Amino acid sequence: MRAEGTARITLPGDPLAVRDGLRQLFTMRALRHLTEDERGTAELVLAEALNNIVEHAYARAPGEIDLWLHLTGTGMLCRITDRGAPMPAGTLPPGLPPCIGKGADLPEGGFGWYLIRTLARDLDYRRIADRNELSFRLDVQQSAP
Amino acid sequence: MAEWGGHMNLVAEPRGELLIVRALEDRIDAAGAIQFKDRMRLLVQHPAQRVLLDLSRVRFLDSSGLGAVVAVMKLMGPDRRLELAGLTPAVDKVFRLTRMDSVFTIHASLPDGLRDAG
């Protein structure tokens, strides 16, 4: 038996709200029984996606982020909605592996989409009216308690 | 919002040629990356050639936190070394996936004799 469950939170688009929202999310009943590794992966992908919204979609004007997660026997479906600026060119960044140079050339950013693309599956982005909708699936195999 | 712009708890302890910095935070994330970098910038003014950053209390690090660790290494300049110790599984994963584990010397734990007596 695997547990099914849904979790939904709405949070303001700022970095501390993202931190608090993630903390709140993983204490919710639907997500309480993830293994440490699953939780780490889910928290990382969600943090990268949410921080991206804070830094880019809501760079000019603040707004709210709606996060919906649905856990099934085969994984975790995640859908994140915001009302900020659309993705440039209407599409997700390629998220290429960061180019590791030496010394002063080492990259300090550009890892976010690479991590999302590495860890998430079925990544999909849509602009619907004034909303951005990002959805993906995470391979977590939650066991029933 | 009380934590915003707040203190990043990093404690430095010189040991001869080495400066040990213990991160006493459970996360280095987008909300704390700037404070981490600013606090480290002050601590690494100590002239030690090697700085060993103990991350054993840090349970979560995102790409902003990773960028801040890289930035600290860069601001130390080419002649000094930033080494890492005690990566928890989630933090270790971020370093491995981004291949930053090939850039830093990473110790499984603080070397013998340098561990916190407490």
Query: Does the distance separating the beta carbons of A100 and B27 come in below 8 Å?
Result: no
Q: What is the pLDDT confidence band of residue B118, given thresholds at 50, 70 and 90?
A: very low
> Which chain B residue shows the shortest CA-CA distance from A118?
B97
Classified by CATH at the fold level, domain A5-138 comes out as Heat Shock Protein 90 (3.30.565)
Per-residue model confidence as pLDDT tens digits over A91-132:
999 999 888 877 778 889 889 999 999 999 999 999 999 999
Q: Which residues pair with A5 in a beta bridge?
A: A71
Q: What is the CATH number of the domain that holds B81?
A: 3.30.750.24
* Residue A96, helix vs strand vs coil: coil
**What residue spans define the domains of chain A?**
5-138
Show the low-confidence residues of chain A (pLDDT under 70). Answer: 1-3, 141-145
- Does A59 reach chain B within 8 Å, measured CB to CB? no
Is the CB of residue B7 less than 8 Å from the CB of residue B35?
yes
Whole-angstrom CA distances from B110 to A2, A113, B43, B104, B113 are 39, 32, 19, 15, 8
In angstroms, the CA B98 to CA B89 distance is 14
Structure confidence at residue A19 (pLDDT): 97
Query: Average pLDDT, stretch B29-50?
Result: 96
* Whether complex ipTM tops 0.90: yes
Q: Locate the DSSP E strands across chain A.
A: 5-12, 64-72, 75-82, 121-128, 131-138
Per-residue model confidence as pLDDT tens digits over B51-101:
999 999 999 999 999 999 999 999 999 999 999 999 999 999 999 999 999
User: Which 74-113 residues of chain A touch chain B by CB within 8 A?
Assistant: 97-98, 100, 103-104, 106-109, 111-112
Question: Closest Cα of chain B to A128: distance in Å?
Answer: 27
Query: Does the distance separating the beta carbons of A44 and B67 come in below 8 Å?
Result: no
| Number of domains making up chain B | 1
Domain that holds residue B40: 10-107
